[in-house]
Structure 1
Amino acid sequence: MRSVLPILAVLAAIVALWYAAAVWLNSAWTYDQAARAGTEVSFGALVRDTLQQERPVLPAPHQVAKGLWDGVMGQAVTSKRSLVYHGWVTLSATLLGFAIGTVLGIALAVGIVHNRAMDMSVMPWAIASQTIPILAIAPMIIVVMNSLGLQGLVPKSIISAYLSFFPVVVGMVKGLRSPDAMQLDLLRTYNASAREVLLKLRLPASLPYLFASLKVGVAASLVGAIVGELPTGAVAGLGARLLTGSYYGQTVQIWAALFAAAIVAAGLVMIIGAVERVTLSRMGLVR
């Protein structure tokens, strides 16, 4: 119970600040309407109006919660207004891109560790690739993929993989290099080949680093999938909900889609964390 109280206190403070910010930012509209009507606005009326506007500048927490509830529970999952439907579209691209990014990241990390030329040449390019804003490169990827006849899931997955592979590369390189010289010398005395050193020492030692990087990579992968939906004018996906909400000034819809994306990301990270605990406990690395 004591460990929960600080979390609840911080959450209560955030909600209180959020409500105060909503009253402040939405008050301009209330004062403007009152000035046009030639009336005065009491503090109580101001608070009530700012917390129930249809298109507020900053939706109140209860408005976002209602938008989430209506989007998840208030619609059929096949409805184009359902956040479950749009979430699944984004999640599909996220998982495919995450799988591609993970495989490429692990393969590249193995090559970097075992080949000094790759370490000196490929690694700097991998780092430099992350300096390019994803919003700049996403439209180019979409255009190139469309010219090749690839639309829908694949272009979004490539953008998603672009963001997710770098954390995996960095984490795996660090993990594969984590065994100390004594452990490596021991395997050499057993005349172990490079493949056996990789499978029996380097890969098991890299798993804690891999899982840490996967948690970062899956969150980045979700961001990539959402960004991939923005330049295409997509009609499905959480990115599409953000677009339509911005077009029509539906700020509650925008915030509900943002929170839905955050919930999906948190769920994916929790799943990876659960797999990590099971895997490392069976290896005897955690109790």
Structure 2
Amino acid sequence: MKRALPVLSVLIVLMAIWYAASVWMNSTWEFDQAQRAKTEITWAEVIPKTMSQDRPLLPPPHQVGAELWKGIAGQKVTSKRSLVYHGLITFRGTMLGFALGIVLGTALAISIVRFRVMDLSVMPWAIISQTIPIVALAPMILTLSNQLGIESREVPKAIISAYLSFFPVLVSMIKGLRSPDQMQLDLLKTYGASDSQTFWKLRLPASMPYFFASLKVAVAAALIGTIVGELPTGAIEGLGARMLIGSQFGEPLIMWAALFAAALLAGILILGVGLIERIANARMGVRA
């Protein structure tokens, strides 16, 4: 309970700020309507109305919660209006991009640690790549995919997702693989261990805490990449497409519900990575 109290306190403060902002932003519509009707309206009348507008400028939390529940539990999973259905589409793209990001980031990290020329030539470009705005890069990836004859919409999303997720893995794995100190490396040399044996018996086990920490960041980045990738591809399925539809058709509740569904999905993915980390640590004999 003591641990939950600070979290609940922050949540209550955020909810209060959110409700206050909803009243302030949504009241403009109510006052405009009253002015057009040439009637007087008081704040006592405005506040309840701002809590139940059909298309609020900023939906209050209870409206977002109701729309989110409707999208998750109020629809069949196979329905195109179900957030579970759209979440599974986004989840599939996220996992594909996440896997590609892990493979790319790990392979580059091993190469950079093993070969100095890779450190001098590849690492600067890897850093520079993260300065390119993903919103500008996504349409370019889509265009190139079309030029190459790739008709699947999953491929561009996976590439964008991998682009965002590989860098945390790369940086953390480099740090982890280089974490053994010189004394440990010298000890293995006295035993006649080869570079390969040093890697498998020392460097790789030492990098595991860094690796799993990076995965929690990378999986969230992969989800963001997938959602961003759904926007310029003209996708009609996925949480990103759902947000876009809500924005284009003036349905803010749909947009906000999809946004919070994406946040829930991110939380589930991070918990999943944490569970895998605990299982891996238990198998390796690491004490919690």
Q: Same fold (TM over 0.5)?
A: yes
Residue 236 of structure 2 is matched in structure 1 by 235
Cα separation, 1, equivalents of 2:101 and 2:53: 43
Q: Which amino acid aligns with 1:139?
A: P
Cα separation, 2, equivalents of 1:40 and 1:149: 62
8 A contact 1:176–1:203 mirrored in 2: yes
Cα separation, 2, equivalents of 1:52 and 1:200: 62
Q: Which amino acid aligns with 1:67?
A: E
SS at match of 2:77: coil
Residue 86 of structure 1 is matched in structure 2 by 86
Cα separation, 1, equivalents of 2:223 and 2:8: 28
Residue 155 of structure 2 is matched in structure 1 by 154
Q: Which amino acid aligns with 1:166?
A: F
SS at match of 2:159: helix
CA-CA distance at 1:149 after TM superposition: 2.3
Deviations 1:132-152 (A, max 9, x none): 000111111111112222221
Cα separation, 1, equivalents of 2:6 and 2:202: 41
Residue 164 of structure 2 is matched in structure 1 by 163
Deviations 1:158-194 (A, max 9, x none): 1100000010000000000000111111111111111
Residue 191 of structure 1 is matched in structure 2 by 192
How do 1:262-281 and structure 2 match up within 5 A?
A: 262-281=263-282
How do 1:197-236 and structure 2 match up within 5 A?
A: 197-236=198-237
CA-CA distance at 1:57 after TM superposition: 0.7
CA-CA distance at 1:69 after TM superposition: 0.5
Residue 24 of structure 1 is matched in structure 2 by 24
SS at match of 2:210: helix
8 A contact 2:88–2:238 mirrored in 1: yes
Deviations 1:88-117 (A, max 9, x none): 111100000000010111010000000000
CA-CA distance at 1:282 after TM superposition: 3.5
TM superposition score normalised by structure 2:
0.98
8 A contact 1:277–1:286 mirrored in 2: no
Q: Which amino acid aligns with 1:269?
A: I
Residue 258 of structure 1 is matched in structure 2 by 259
CA-CA distance at 1:34 after TM superposition: 0.7
How do 1:63-78 and structure 2 match up within 5 A?
A: 63-78=63-78
CA-CA distance at 1:278 after TM superposition: 2.5
CA-CA distance at 1:281 after TM superposition: 3.6
8 A contact 1:89–1:236 mirrored in 2: yes
8 A contact 1:86–1:238 mirrored in 2: yes
Where in structure 1 do 4 or more consecutive aligned residues deviate above 4 Å? none
Cα separation, 2, equivalents of 1:262 and 1:165: 21
TM superposition score normalised by structure 1:
0.98
Q: Which amino acid aligns with 2:101?
A: G
Cα separation, 1, equivalents of 2:12 and 2:101: 38
Please say if 1:4 is aligned against 2:11: no
Give % identity: 61
Cα separation, 2, equivalents of 1:107 and 1:209: 15
8 A contact 1:102–1:168 mirrored in 2: yes
How do 1:101-120 and structure 2 match up within 5 A?
A: 101-120=101-120
Cα separation, 2, equivalents of 1:188 and 1:244: 61
Residue 59 of structure 2 is matched in structure 1 by 59
SS at match of 2:55: coil
Mean Cα displacement is larger for which, 103-112 or 272-281? Answer: 272-281
Residue 129 of structure 1 is matched in structure 2 by 129
Deviations 1:236-261 (A, max 9, x none): 00111111111111111111111011
Q: Which amino acid aligns with 1:53?
A: Q
Cα separation, 2, equivalents of 1:73 and 1:255: 16
Residue 49 of structure 1 is matched in structure 2 by 49
Cα separation, 1, equivalents of 2:204 and 2:21: 49
CA-CA distance at 1:3 after TM superposition: 1.6
8 A contact 2:153–2:233 mirrored in 1: no
CA-CA distance at 1:40 after TM superposition: 1.5
CA-CA distance at 1:42 after TM superposition: 2.1
CA-CA distance at 1:280 after TM superposition: 2.1
Q: Which amino acid aligns with 1:81?
A: R
Cα separation, 2, equivalents of 1:49 and 1:62: 13
CA-CA distance at 1:277 after TM superposition: 2.1
